[in-house]
Amino acid sequence: MPKISSRSSKVGRMLLRREAFTTGSGLSAVTDAPPSVGRLPTEWWPAYHADRSAPGITYVVLSYATPIGWVCEDGRTVIPDESYSRTTRRHQLLISRWL
């Protein structure tokens, strides 16, 4: 998995192409939905786990270990409207532009 800067223009292109990557600032993306929910608020757990089951999640963006956005096989994009740290908020703004 390539490691890139979260401020690089490559991040946007990789998000658009749904490619896996990692950064030094805790932002990463994977094509295999992890079962762990990190610090995702409990009210989002059922939605995340339901999407993992059916229709299936094809792409997950994580801030540290927390899923902050995912793309389902049916094309739906989910970005939970939750507040986290300043860094994670920057990650959320980035993915809201590109997913």
Q: Would you write out the chain's pLDDT as a tens digit for each of its 99 residues?
A: 789 988 888 999 999 999 999 999 899 999 999 999 999 999 999 999 999 998 899 999 999 999 999 999 999 999 999 999 999 999 999 999 998
Residue located via tokens 């507040």: 83
pLDDT at site 10: 92
- Token code pair at residue 54: 């059916």
Q: Return the domain boundaries, the chain.
A: 3-98
What is the pLDDT at residue 55? 86
Can you give the C-alpha Rg of the chain in angstroms?
12
Cα-flanking dihedrals φ and ψ of residue 10, to 5°?
A: -65, -30
Picking from 71, 69, 72, the residue whose alpha carbon sits closest to that of residue 84 is 69
Residue 80 has which token pair? 């939970």
Amino acid of residue 21? F
Pairing outcome for strands 57-63 and 3-4: unpaired
Query: Looking at the whole model, is its pTM more than 0.75?
Result: yes
